Structure 1
Amino acid sequence: MARQDAHPETRTRVDTGAGREEEAFAPRALRALEDGRPSVRLRAALEIGTTPHPSHVDGLIERCAVEPDFSVREMLTWALTRHAPARTLPGLLEALRAERAQARSQALHTLSKIGDRRAWPAITRELLSDADEEVARCAWRAAVVLVPEGEAAELAAVLVTRLGGGGRETRLSLSRALIALGDAAAPALRGATTDPDPEVRRHAIATERLARDPDAGFEFAIEEAKRIMVLGGDGAGGGESGGGEEE
């Protein structure tokens, strides 16, 4: 990136001693995160991540909660991953209790990228069952990354309670999370295929189908599940494979 194109708030600093330079840089870069132009905010987050410093972390987390642009949010998350987990985890864990849904979802997303299992106790059942679908989806992804060995089956038992709910993207996210848990999820998923609720049964059968043949695509798996239910099966058989849609 050419230096002459950089916004004044984030351009290269004149060295006046390492401590004073960093001191001056942090407020300027963090102020640039509040600029009305997404391109300026994106550059600011990139520069902060390129030159990580503990003084940046709180501002990055605060901005995650309100940033409207997806690309900038992704860069903010990347910038946070460039800092030491010991510095980022406390603020991210606090954000999981925030009233604003975006603060919770972005903190969960960032924790899944950091992958530090010390965050696992904060992935509560309340987050996994959050009324906001984006928060719940982020919680599922984070849980799959952070779950300790030996606890995946218990996590799967919680996740299957969400089968059949939400829209297409939410159902696909849940299926992917269960599939990512592998064999540990099989008993809970198998039990859900006989649930009294037909939506739960359909989603569970489709998830098993997708686990056996990831290339089939989610829509094809759902249609297969409907066919199996009409024929009175439970999805245990292999069934014919077909060229499904892209996920």
Structure 2
Amino acid sequence: MTTTYQDPEVRRALRALADDRPSVRLKAALAVGTAPDERFVDALVERCAVEPEFFVRDMLTWALTRHPDSVTLPRVLAELDSERARARSQALHTLSKIGGRRAWPALTRAHLTDPDDDVARAAWRTAVLLVPDGEEAALAAALATQLGRGGQETQLSLSRALIGLGDVILPVLDTAATAPDPLVRAHALATRRILSDPDTGFAYAIEEAKRVVALDGAPGEGH
């Protein structure tokens, strides 16, 4: 539900943040971030949920980081359960900038497996940044359930997230490399290849992995 703002200054800023021109919205977000004022936090968060331009959304997030975490964090966390995918995605992105480990308990498996690819990618990136020491293996196991998902951009995002956890991902990649689904096996092999050789491009690694999987056939066929 959209908040009704009584303060004229806040209403003016809100109108600018909702202007039809992206350049005006960008300037408004910059202005709010340059002169932080807690009265603007709700307006910034609400605009994040509907802003169509990536560069404006990024400025909105920056403006939020300029306000006290004690004010922004509860408001951003509330957006994680929004019905709007863009709101969930941008909230996750903002948490990666302001949340710290305090936000970790709010990041659930539902976010890591969100049906919207943009939300899931944001959750993967944020989870790797926020994961507490000792929780990396559990996170790797959760992320591995998404191997083989989506197109190349989504698969690259997941591989980057997994690789960000380091060698703790090796057991889950080994398991995934024997999965019945050839897409999962190929994605696991490609991720392991990049982990061992970071200079390998993802497109090359995934195509090479697909060829290996095709030659090997289905697990258990016996070649």
**Taking structure 2 as the reference length, what is the TM-score of the superposition?**
0.90
1:209 aligns with 2:193: yes
| Number of positions where the alignment pairs a residue of Structure 1 with one of Structure 2 | 211
CA contact (8 A) 2:37 2:67 kept: yes
Indicate yes or no: 2:89 matched with 1:105.
yes
User: Which residue type is aligned with residue 37 of structure 2?
Assistant: H
Offset of residue 194 of structure 1: 1.1
In 2, the alpha carbon distance for the partners of 1:49 and 1:184 equals 38
* Equivalent AA in structure 1 for residue 42 of structure 2: D
> Pick from 129, 132, 136: which aligns with 1:145?
129
Name which structure has the greater RCO, CA cutoff 8 Å, separation 6+.
2
* 1:52 correspondence with 2:17: no
Q: Which residue of 2 aligns with 1:218?
A: 202
Contact 2:73 2:99 in 1 (8 A): no
Contact 1:48 1:79 in 2 (8 A): yes
8 A Cα contact 2:16 2:24, kept in partner: yes
Distance 1:224 1:42 in 2: 43
- CA deviation vs aligned residue, 1:93-114 (integer Å, no higher than 9, x gap): 1000000000000000111122
Instruction: Give CA-to-partner distance per residue, 1:37-66, whole Å, 9 cap, x none.
Output: 111100000011111111111100000001
| Secondary structure in structure 1 of the residue aligned to 2:145 | helix
Structure 1, gaps ≥5 residues long: 1-22, 234-247
Match of 1:118 among 102, 107, 123: 102
Offset from partner CA, 1:149-190 (integer Å, 9 cap, x none): 000100010110000111111100000000001022221112
Structure of higher CA gyration radius: 1
Unpaired runs of 5+ residues, structure 2, are 1-6, 218-223
C-alpha distance in 2 between matches for 1:143 and 1:71: 22
Q: Please list the CA deviations of residues 134-159 of structure 1 after superposition, one character each: whole Å capped at 9, or x if unmatched.
A: 00000001100111000010001011
Whole-angstrom distance in 2 between the partners of 1:56 and 1:92: 13
State how 1:45-194 maps to structure 2 within 5 Å.
Answer: 45-194=29-178
Which residue type is aligned with residue 98 of structure 1? S
Segment drifting more, 155-164 vs 28-37: 28-37
- Cα distance in structure 1, aligned partners of 2:38 and 2:169: 39
Q: In structure 2, what is the Cα distance between the partners aligned to 1:164 and 1:221?
A: 14
1:41 and 2:25 equivalent?
yes
Corresponding residue SS for 2:82:
coil
For 2:51 and 2:214, the matched residues in 1 are separated by 46
SS in 1 for 2:140: helix
Q: TM-score, normalised by structure 1?
A: 0.82
Q: What is the alpha-carbon distance in structure 1 between the residues aligned to residue 198 and residue 12 of structure 2?
A: 47
Report the CA distance between 1:210 and its aligned residue. 1.0
Distance in 2 of aligned mates of 1:193 and 1:115: 34
* Mapped contact 2:117–2:154 kept (Cα < 8 A): yes
CA RMSD of aligned residues (A): 1.5
